[in-house]
Amino acid sequence: MTNNFPSGIISQDVFNEYAANWLTVVGNNAELNQGFQTDSGKLLSVSFTMEQIQQLVSVVGAHYIMAKFLITSDGLKFTLALYAADAERNRLSSYYGAGNLSQVPGLPGAEVPDVLAEKWLECWSNDQPVTSDMFTSSMPDAPLQGYAFDVNDFLALFYDLPKIDGEILLVHFGLHEYYRGTAEGDKLTQTFGLVLRVSGQQGSSDPFYDMSAPCPPLC
């Protein structure tokens, strides 16, 4: 299925509106969970064309590719925007909005081992509701707003790629599970993450990538 979020370049006004929607919805478990639901179940990934990624990594002075969480105003659905940023994370490129919403589970820089990536994707794809706790950052009262990738992680997607035209980058959703020490004792923590893979063909040897840093801090 496709959503109504514009594929390709989006305006500053649209980005600001959708980013503000995210900050509102992420604090409401019911709306947040609904934002990740589609006609065929939980949203598992979004996609970008490799032509878009080629343009982003071609930005002169780019150090990071920023992936920001958005909620559309039409239907309050989750999506992503990517943009290139400099070493201080100042935006250098236009905002590139995700196109198709994909229900295709798949395998994901450094390369992430398939078994680890599969575990993250499996944890996300189960039937448990999406909650605000999955988007907790290290900053009090500041939910995750996205992830920052080193531009080299996106450059690595082009290694051994025979062509660019027609190729698709799937940004899979994963859930990292670990125990965290708190004042109340050890607590099972689940944190939403992004896993990159070109084309996303199951059984393919294409590697997964996940070397992102949470935002905030340093969004």
Of residues 104 and 178, the one with the higher pLDDT is 178
How are the residues of the chain apportioned to helix, strand and coil, as percentages rounded to the nearest 5?
A: 25, 35, 40
- With a CB cutoff of 8 Å and minimum separation 6, the contacts of 57 are 65, 84, 151, 154, 155, 158
Q: Which two tokens stand for residue 4?
A: 């109504």
Ranges 7-21, 172-186, 189-203, most confident: 7-21
- What pLDDT, on a 0 to 100 scale, did the predictor assign at position 103? 45
Percent above pLDDT 70 for the chain: 77
- What pLDDT, on a 0 to 100 scale, did the predictor assign at position 100? 55
- What pLDDT, on a 0 to 100 scale, did the predictor assign at position 159? 83
Instruction: Answer yes or no: is pLDDT of 4 > 50.
Output: no
Instruction: Answer yes or no: is pLDDT of 195 > 60.
Output: yes
Q: For the chain, what is the mean pLDDT?
A: 82
- What pLDDT, on a 0 to 100 scale, did the predictor assign at position 91? 96
Of residues 70 and 153, the one with the higher pLDDT is 70
Distance CA 157, CA 198 (A): 7
- What pLDDT, on a 0 to 100 scale, did the predictor assign at position 202? 39
Q: What are phi and psi of 95, to 5 degrees?
A: -85, 130
- With a CB cutoff of 8 Å and minimum separation 6, the contacts of 33 are 129, 130, 131
Of residues 204 and 140, the one with the higher pLDDT is 140
- What pLDDT, on a 0 to 100 scale, did the predictor assign at position 71? 96
Instruction: Answer yes or no: is pLDDT of 122 > 60.
Output: yes
pLDDT digits 0-9 by tens, 66-95 = 999 999 998 899 999 999 999 999 999 999
Mean pLDDT of 173-192: 79
- What pLDDT, on a 0 to 100 scale, did the predictor assign at position 20? 97
Alpha helical stretches, state H, 61-189: 114-125, 151-155
In Å, how far from its chain's centre is CA 6? 17
Residue 30, CA distances (Å) to 17, 43, 70, 119, 136 in order: 20, 15, 16, 25, 16
> pTM of this prediction?
0.85
Instruction: Answer yes or no: is pLDDT of 3 > 70.
Output: no
- What pLDDT, on a 0 to 100 scale, did the predictor assign at position 196? 86
Q: Which two tokens stand for residue 193?
A: 């993450």
Instruction: Answer yes or no: is pLDDT of 217 > 70.
Output: no
